């Protein structure tokens, strides 16, 4: 993997469903991974910053895991609600390039009643 890749590109779930997305990235020279939520007509907001292999972070119904050796991170949403509808972005920081984020194209989630 040369760049940060996210899958699926878009997702449509029913309220109450649990879902997850994938962020894949080059495992070499890894320093940190960010997850952001970007709601329509708003600014992207940070969800998690992860650095260590095996890291798990949780914020309410949203959680994320990190595998730096194989180069992937999962974002989980438990019991999706309509307010979870947004584009979820992941971004990677390489060693030696502190604060320079390389973003994936995002996963667009739509939660319907």
Partner 1 sequence: DGGITQSPKYLFRKEGQNVTLSCEQNLNHDAMYWYRQDPGQGLRLIYYSQIVNDFQKGDIAEGYSVSREKKESFPLTVTSAQKNPTAFYLCASTPTGGIGEQYFGPGTRLTVT
Q: Give the interface with partner 1 as residue ranges (CB under 8 A).
A: 4, 31-32, 34, 36, 42-46, 49, 51, 89, 91, 93, 98-106
Which neighbouring-strand residues pair with 16?
none
Of 80 and 86, the one with the shorter C-beta distance to partner 1 is 86
Closest contact distance (angstroms) between CB of 106 and partner 1 is 7
Closest contact distance (angstroms) between CB of 36 and partner 1 is 8
Closest contact distance (angstroms) between CB of 96 and partner 1 is 12
Helix, strand, or coil (residue 41): coil
Candidates 46, 40, 23; CA nearest to 92 is 23
- Which DSSP symbol is given to 83? G
């Amino acid at each position: 993997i040369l760049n940060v890749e996210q899958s699926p590109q878009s997702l449509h779930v029913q309220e109450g469903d649990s879902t997850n997305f994938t962020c894949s990235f080059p495992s070499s020279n890894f320093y940190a991974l960010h997850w952001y939520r970007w709601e329509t007509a708003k600014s992207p907001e940070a969800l998690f910053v992860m650095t260590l292999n095996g890291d798990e972070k949780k914020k309410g119904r949203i959680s994320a895991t990190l595998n730096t050796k194989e180069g992937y991170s999962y974002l989980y949403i438990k019991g999706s609600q309509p307010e979870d509808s947004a584009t979820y972005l992941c971004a990677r920081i390489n060693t030696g390039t502190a604060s320079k984020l390389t973003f994936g194209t995002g996963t667009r989630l739509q939660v319907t009643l």
